[in-house]
Structure 1
Amino acid sequence: MKRRRPVSVVLAALLAATVTSACVSETAGGGAGVPGGPAKPAAGQQGEAAAPQAGPARALDTYAEALKRKQAARAVAAKKWGLAKTPLAAPEPPKVKPRITTRKGFEVRDDEGLPPVFTTVPTKEKIVFLTMDDGAEKDPALLRMMTELDIPYSAFLSDYVINDDYGYFRQMQKRGVVISNHTLNHRYLPGLSYAEQKREICGQQEKILKQYGKRPTLFRPPYGNYNRDTLVVARTCGITAVPLWSAEAFADHMEWREWDRDLHPGDIVLTHFRGKGDWKGTMPDMIRTVMKTITDKGYAVAKLEDYV
């Protein structure tokens, strides 16, 4: 399993590399007063201009400084929003997305070519993915908090609870959140006919296209329940993957799918847009709870759509 180096270690390594490079250049080319090196300029003459820093070295320095500034800003935001620890920085996303397959035990008959159903993304990195369902609670504090903390998350929305304020999720989308499909009315899909499922899934595709400008490629069935018709319909509507979850976050506790009650690389974490009327706390309370768990266990939050 790869371990990310702290920013301070990366900066130290970059500095050492830069100093070593400079020393080697002076020794190899000779210095002023050294046989084989350039002669000192005569009085009144200007010496040669110093060569600019090499492109790759400068790029590394710039990247390291950007990481340092970003993490410093995150530390300030973490203190402001009452997080126990500063969230860890996620690694750069892969240039090629991993191949996603259906989790064992989650298959349907004749599922070749159907969207895969999974709870974990294949990766060796200590990252997890935060996803939020439904859309009933529209807390402006959540938008500010997640923006200032720079924590990525994904939204799986049902029209019946968002149609009173599409604008809230439009603000979320402008902040980089991808809007995905959670059906029109959050019904139990295996109990519906093929035509009814098509209305629920494909109907929400069209709603999201109209309101947010793009049809989703990710779909999460309500309650995590589905059958073969669900996946066939989803495919016909443009869905390519069906992410479920490995853990669920509430305002005051976590719940787990796996027997070891722990996080694993690539786990998908579910939570909901809910407030005090539904659970013991607010959306910011939930973020504090889930981020304490994630950070304490040495994980960072990455963006699901960078991997799926």
Structure 2
Amino acid sequence: MLAGLVAEGRLGRKTGQGFHTYPGARRTRDKVVFLTFDDGAERDPRFVDLVRELRLPVSMFLTDSVVGPGYAHFGRLRAVGASVQNHTLDHPYLPSLPYAGQRAEICGQQDKLKQRFGIRPRLFRPPYGAYNHDTLGAAADCGVAAVVLWSDRERLRPGDILHCPEGQHGTSLTKATTNLLRNIQEQGYTVARLEDYL
């Protein structure tokens, strides 16, 4: 039913060495959208199977204090093709922190993810989508290439970055994602890897 949903990986245009922010979409003419998940609270093992079976490109923005002892689950997701990105150590409202506090949150999670997975994420999503000038400076200083937010539109547009719902009201993450994928397909879109377009 969801056949043909995943776009073939295609390297996007290089944006150079500069630091970028993406407020909810990546400009493209391709009829693609990008799936992103935040925090790491829900660890549905069937979601790993879904990602593997559909070869579904997803980006996981992880918060250390939320993931807790669940890093092994995200290791399994990485093994089937998911990317792991930065969502801070403790999920604070960053604009309320001074530069040093923001840098500690962002760089600290960069270090944790390097320890856990051997990678330093290129992408960062600020908790609540809230950031200021210090956030951008701290992210750049921590080696992040781009700050990525999300789109809340019901009618999709090419390049929309979707903030996927975690399981709500008794619905598992797998079921919620399957429902979202049907909606994407009904609107004539495919799912692409966000990192290929940045």
- Normalising by the residue count of structure 2, what TM-score does the alignment of the two structures yield? 0.92
One-letter identity of the residue aligned with 2:195: E
Structure showing greater radius of gyration is: 1
Report deviation, 1:89.
Answer: 4.0
Q: After the TM superposition, which residues 4-153 of structure 1 pair with which residues of structure 2 at under 5 Å, given as runs?
A: 78=1, 85-94=2-11, 96-99=12-15, 114-153=19-58
Report deviation, 1:118.
Answer: 2.8
The alignment status of 1:217 with 2:122, answered yes or no, reads: yes
Match of 1:271 in 2: 164
Report deviation, 1:86.
Answer: 3.2
Q: List alignment gaps of at least 5 residues for structure 2.
A: none
- How many residue pairs get matched? 197
More strand by share: 2
2:6·2:54 contact (CA, 8 Å) conserved in 1? no
Match of 1:116, SS? strand
Percent of paired sites with the same residue = 43
Q: Which deviations, in whole Å up to 9, do the C-alpha atoms of 1:10-67 show, x marking residues without a partner?
A: xxxxxxxxxxxxxxxxxxxxxxxxxxxxxxxxxxxxxxxxxxxxxxxxxxxxxxxxxx
Match of 2:97 in 1: 192
Match of 1:97, SS? coil
The alignment status of 1:281 with 2:171, answered yes or no, reads: yes
Q: Specify whether residues 280 and 191 from structure 1 end up closer, same or farther in structure 2 by C-alpha distance, changes over 3 A only.
A: same
Report deviation, 1:175.
Answer: 1.1
Match of 1:23 in 2: none
Report deviation, 1:214.
Answer: 0.8
Report deviation, 1:91.
Answer: 4.0
The alignment status of 1:174 with 2:85, answered yes or no, reads: no
Q: Counterparts of 1:291 and 1:139 in 2: how far apart (Å)?
A: 17
Structure with greater contact order relative to length (CA < 8 Å, sep ≥ 6)? 2
Q: Counterparts of 2:58 and 2:10 in 1: how far apart (Å)?
A: 14
Q: Specify whether residues 300 and 116 from structure 1 end up closer, same or farther in structure 2 by C-alpha distance, changes over 3 A only.
A: same
1:115·1:235 contact (CA, 8 Å) conserved in 2? no
One-letter identity of the residue aligned with 1:86: A
Report deviation, 1:306.
Answer: 1.1
Name segments (4+ residues, structure 1) moved above 6 Å. none
2:55·2:81 contact (CA, 8 Å) conserved in 1? no
Match of 2:111 in 1: 206
Select the residue among 279, 288, 298 that pairs with 2:188: 298
RMSD over equivalenced CA pairs, Å? 1.7
